[in-house]
Amino acid sequence: MFNVKKMKIAFVIHGLSMGGAEKFLIYLVNRLSDIGHDPIIITLSNDKTLLHEVNKNVTVITILRKHKFDLSVTAKIRKTLFAHEIDSVFCINMFSFFLTKLGLLFNKNIQFYLSLHSTDPVSFKNHLANHIYFRFVNRKDIVVYICQNQKNFLKPKYFISSFHDEVIYNGIDTAFFDPALFSNFNAQLLRDQYGISSSDMLILKVARLRIEKGHVDAIQALSILHTQFSLKAHLLFVGNGDEPFITSLKDLTRKSGLDGFVHFSGIQSDVRKFYMISSIFTLTSHSIETFSLAALEAMSFSLPCSLTDIGGANEMISEGINGFLTQPHNSFSIAESWNHLLNGQFDKQQIRGLVLQQFTSNKMLDQYINLLKQNSIQFNN
């Protein structure tokens, strides 16, 4: 008989920065803790932006590297796992899996799970590294993909040998991301902070400011929207990033004549109010993106979405129903989709309904917990 209180599982991740993979891990760890499991988190950096969201009774251990390929951490990870009598290890993305597996190559008593949250490598160097990392996956390891497209792409590309793999879609807390909670919210007060009038259309993008997230393409698309489609919408970026890159985006905004139309809010502890003030949501990534939590959050707030057709975007978008897909690195395609969305009519209840049916955190977490129950090694039962 399965005893939930005796399952001890370690989650290994690079850090607890603001991101989809990190949010997913916290969802899962907190649920496991709530139902009586004994999870711990091992982070490989001091980035703990989201630490406050982790249940207080969950142990979080930081094992720092002196440099990226500081392999001495493998021994520290192994020591930590043994000290906590861990029977299952759940690694988020390839590098944490590689470092953890390296310290346990000949251990047959720990079940490994590899949870993949990225698809296209951002560089040829990353592509080569992935070929090395995936060689450490064996047939007993369980690989979890977050969309079917990701599995179809990665498994043949890197010759992944796992005998057992699963596709479990990301999900969000739709009770938390519910526009009904904001029935008394004064959206105009927030719009006023950015000089956006009640009649102005607003395009929202929630994503870390990194080159592969396509913010440059978004700014260029806004210029096209203004000049070729004669639609003077605003574009609001929510998220942080490196200062030199942010400065370059602001320079591009000025050079494009878009001062007053492109806004930078920085990182926000609660993005829900930004969904409330927006007309549509967009992502313009050309790599990294696999199955965006931010897009699901926006749809839960009934916003139609424009997403670049990478990762699992076409598994969450039904074109004309809840949004449109665009070509990555194609600013005209992005601008055209914005024009369609801003001028179109969409059933808001239907948009939210699609998330409620398919992409809730409860549905996702039930699938993960069932997977762990069925496959984790049990001790002392």
Assess whether 80 and 197 both reside in one domain.
Answer: no
Assess whether 153 and 276 both reside in one domain.
Answer: no
Assess whether 158 and 187 both reside in one domain.
Answer: no
Give 378's DSSP letter. Answer: P
* Structural tokens at position 39: 């999870």
Q: Is residue 380 part of a domain?
A: no
Q: Is residue 285 part of a domain?
A: yes
Question: 137-187: per-residue pLDDT in tens?
Answer: 988 899 999 999 999 999 999 988 778 999 999 999 999 999 999 999 999
CATH number at residue 100: 3.40.50.2000
pLDDT for residue 6 is more than 70: no
Residue spans of beta strands (DSSP E) within the chain: 8-13, 38-43, 59-62, 88-92, 111-115, 142-145, 164-167, 202-206, 234-238, 262-266, 280-283, 305-308, 323-326
Question: 72-116: per-residue pLDDT in tens?
Answer: 899 999 999 999 999 999 999 999 999 999 989 888 889 999 999
Containing domain of residue 292, as a range? 179-358
pLDDT computed for residue 8 by the predictor = 87
Q: What does the DSSP assignment read for 274-325?
A: HHHT-SEEEE--SSS-SS-HHHHHHHHTT--EEEES-TTHHHH--BTTTEEE
Assess whether 14 and 139 both reside in one domain.
Answer: yes
pLDDT computed for residue 106 by the predictor = 81
Q: Which has the higher per-residue pLDDT, 65 or 312?
A: 312
Whole-number Å distance between alpha carbons of 362 and 174: 9
Nearest to 311 by CA among 152, 89, 200: 152
Assess whether 206 and 248 both reside in one domain.
Answer: yes
Diameter over CA atoms, the chain:
69
Assess whether 291 and 351 both reside in one domain.
Answer: yes
Q: Is residue 321 part of a domain?
A: yes
pLDDT for residue 1 is more than 60: no
The band of 220, judged by pLDDT with boundaries at 50, 70 and 90, is very high
Average pLDDT, the chain: 92
Bridge pairing between strands 38-43 and 8-13: parallel
Assess whether 241 and 115 both reside in one domain.
Answer: no
What's the structural domain count of the chain? 2
Assess whether 119 and 56 both reside in one domain.
Answer: yes
Assess whether 159 and 124 both reside in one domain.
Answer: yes
Assess whether 164 and 204 both reside in one domain.
Answer: no
pLDDT computed for residue 126 by the predictor = 85
Q: Is residue 381 part of a domain?
A: no
